[in-house]
Structure 1
Amino acid sequence: MRLLIGLLLAFAVAASVGLGTTLYALQESTPFGSFTVGAWTAWPRTGTADIDPYARALIARSGELPMGAGDGVAFVATKDDNGAALDGRCDVIVSGVTPQARFWTLTLYDPEGKLVGNALNRHGFSSQEIVRKSDGAIEITVAPRARTGNWLPSGGVDRYTLVMRFYDSPIGVASRTGRETPMPSVKVQSCT
C-alpha cells in the first residue's frame, strides 16, 4: 500500500512540474531558435519543419499562421535598444536601414497580439508607402499624437509590440545572415 501511495505521489509531482513548466513556457512566448539584432528578435524556424515543440504549441494555441521559410522572416520588438518596454505614451523613433527584401511591413500590436486601435485606422507602414531619407534610410515615429513625416499612432496604450516582416528576403536560417542583418534602431525620444 505504501508503494502505491508513493507511486501516486511521485506521479502527481511529476505531472504538476511537467505541466506547470510547459504552461509557463507557452505563456512566456519563449520558442527556441531565436536570434536578436538590436531590439529586434526573430524566430525563423517557426515556419519550417524544424519548428520546436513549444513554438508549435504556441502557434496551435494562438491560431496564428507563421511565415514560411521561403516567404520571409518576422522580427518582433517589445523593448527599445536600451531595454525599456515600448510605451504608447512615449515618442519612439524607428530609424535606420532595413535588410534587403522585396517588400516589408511594420505593424503595431498590443501585448495580446491585436492591432492597436486609433482614430485613423492606421496600424502600420509598408516599404511601398514609406517616405525615405535621401540616403535611403527610414524614420518612423510611433507616438500618441500626430507628428510630421512617417507617423504611426500608438493610441496611448501602456505597452505595444512592433512587428517588422520582410518578404522574399535572404534573411533566415539557411543563409546564416541573421546576426549581421542591418535592422533599424528603436529609440525613445520623449515621454509625456
Structure 2
Amino acid sequence: MGRMKSGHRYAITLVGGLAVGLGAAWAITGRGLSDGQIANGPWTTSLGYGTKATDAVTRAAVARAGLLALPAKETVYWSAKSDAAGAPLDGNCRYSLSGAPLDARWWSVTLYDTAGYLVANDTKIWSVNGANVALDAKDEWRVTISPDKPAEGAWLPGTKGQLFHLTLRMYNPGGGFRADPAKAVLPRIVKEGC
C-alpha cells in the first residue's frame, strides 16, 4: 500500500511538472514575433529569424507562428499589433495602411487574428503586395483595412469584434534597408474611425 501511494505521488508530481513546464513554454512562445529586437514605429522585427544564431525561444515562437522564416538577407518579417497611436488593431475600425514603395525586391502585408491565423472572410482576401497596389501621383500606395469594402482602392477586410495583427514581409531587402532597418521608411498604420 505504501509503494502504491509513493507511485501516485511520483506520477502526480511528474504530470504537474510537465503541465507547468509546457504551460510556461506555451505562454513564452505565445507572445509572438512582435517582441523583436528592432522597433520601427508600430512595426517590430528581429534580423535573427531564420538563422542558427537565433535564441531557442525566438526559434520556438517562429515555429509556433508557422512562419517558415528565411534569413534576413532573403526576407525580413515585421509584425504590428497596434496603429501609429499605439492602440491595438481592431476589426471594428477603419485604417489607412500606406507608404512609398519599399526597399525590397517584393513585399506583402498579411492580416492575421491574434492567434496567428488568417481571418475568415467571404472575399478570401488576406494580403496585399507591391504588385497589386497602385501608386498615386505622389508615388505612394494606400490600402484600407476595414470590415466594410471601400468604394475604391485596395482593401484588406477586418472582422467586427476581432483584434488583428499585420505581418509585413520584405523579400530580398535592399542594402540601404539592411544598413539601418530601425530607420527604414515602413508603411503607416493610421486609424481613420470606428
How far is the alpha carbon of 1:61 from its aligned partner?
Answer: 3.9
Among candidates 92, 100, 103, match of residue 103 of structure 2: 100
How far is the alpha carbon of 1:21 from its aligned partner?
Answer: 5.8
Change (3 A) 1:78 1:32: closer
Change (3 A) 1:33 1:61: closer
Equivalent positions of 1:31-42 (< 5 A) are: 34-42=37-45
Change (3 A) 1:74 1:63: closer
How far is the alpha carbon of 1:125 from its aligned partner?
Answer: 0.8
TM-score of the pair, normalised by structure 1: 0.80
TM-score of the pair, normalised by structure 2: 0.80
Change (3 A) 1:171 1:58: farther
Equivalent residue for 1:163? 167
Alignment RMSD (CA, Å): 2.6
Change (3 A) 1:184 1:171: farther
How many percent identity over aligned positions?
28
Among candidates 66, 83, 89, match of residue 69 of structure 2: 66
Deviation string, structure 1 residues 13-43 (Cα, Å, up to 9, x no partner): xx89x94765542232368752111111112
Does structure 1 residue 188 correspond to structure 2 residue 194? no
Look up the SS of the partner of 1:168 in the other structure: strand
Deviation string, structure 1 residues 92-137 (Cα, Å, up to 9, x no partner): 1111224311110111111111111111111111111111111221
How far is the alpha carbon of 1:178 from its aligned partner?
Answer: 0.9
Contact 2:91-2:163 at 8 Å conserved across structures = yes
Equivalent positions of 1:73-112 (< 5 A) are: 73-112=76-115
Q: How many residues align?
A: 176
Q: In 2, Cα distance between the equivalents of 1:39 and 1:59?
A: 19
Contact 2:35-2:44 at 8 Å conserved across structures = no
Look up the SS of the partner of 1:45 in the other structure: coil
Deviation string, structure 1 residues 22-68 (Cα, Å, up to 9, x no partner): 55422323687521111111122011121111112223444441122
